Amino acid sequence: KRVYCLSRLQMSEQQFYVQVHFANLLFVDNPVGAGYSYVTNDGAYARNESQIADDLVALLSVFLTKLPEFQVVPLYIFGESYGGKMAAIFALALNKAVSSGQIRCQLRGVVLGDGWLSPIDSTATWGPYLYTMASSSLCHCKARQTSGVHMALLQALAMGEVTLIVSRLLCQPIDTGHT
């Protein structure tokens, strides 16, 4: 994993950036293979959410062992979109590791920005949202298309193929009617 850290504990006064006046920031490509991170063995890629969470707990364990001064710093986990789902799962795994004494840290909270926690509930809102926000000439087309996405997701859930269908649906553009 690639890890980037901006820390007020490790920078001189001249090196401060606005982000680190009040917080230490740790950026992690997650899961491995996202962003700039990579593995040398394809078998090392995480295959499910629990493996991703375990990888993050292992990373944080090494980080806190090498930089023990961060063990007493309040920790907040932030995640946005699909990262919101992962932030919640990671926080649960981290809380278990802290409770069992595996890791010493001050986990204080989780912040989710438009987290992709419930694809069914999220896709159900797309049609009404587009109807409200789109021009009248486009809204009926958009509502029909997003309703189709929602129905496909419900069918995939019934067949136990949510991961496959979500990845396919999210890569399909919604026709705007513009060329």
H/E element, 74: strand 74-80
Each residue's pLDDT tens digit, 116-156: 777 777 777 777 776 676 655 555 555 555 666 667 777 77
H/E element, 149: helix 136-159
Taking Cα atoms as reference points, which of 35, 92, 30 lies closest to residue 55? 30
Highest mean pLDDT among 32-36, 48-52, 91-95, 152-156: 91-95
The larger pLDDT score, comparing residue 9 to residue 148, is at: 148
DSSP helix/strand/coil, 75? strand
| Strand pairing category for 3-6 and 25-28 | antiparallel
Banded model confidence at residue 1, pLDDT cuts 50, 70, 90: very low
Each residue's pLDDT tens digit, 163-172: 555 555 555 5
H/E element, 111: strand 106-113
Taking Cα atoms as reference points, which of 165, 86, 172 lies closest to residue 120? 165
Each residue's pLDDT tens digit, 29-43: 888 888 788 888 888
The larger pLDDT score, comparing residue 63 to residue 37, is at: 63
Query: Can you give the three-state secondary structure of 10-39, one letter per residue?
Result: CCCHHHCCHHHCCCCEEEECCCECECCCCC
- What's the one-letter identity of residue 65? T
Banded model confidence at residue 179, pLDDT cuts 50, 70, 90: very low
So what's the pLDDT on residue 167?
54
- CA torsion angle 85 89 90 96 (round to 10): 160
Q: Look up residue 172 and give its DSSP letter.
A: S
DSSP helix/strand/coil, 165? helix
Least confident of 85-94, 110-119, 164-173: 164-173
Q: Which residues pair with 77 in a beta bridge?
A: 110
3-113 folds as Rossmann fold (3.40.50)
Residue ranges covered by each domain of the chain: 3-113, 119-170
pTM: 0.61
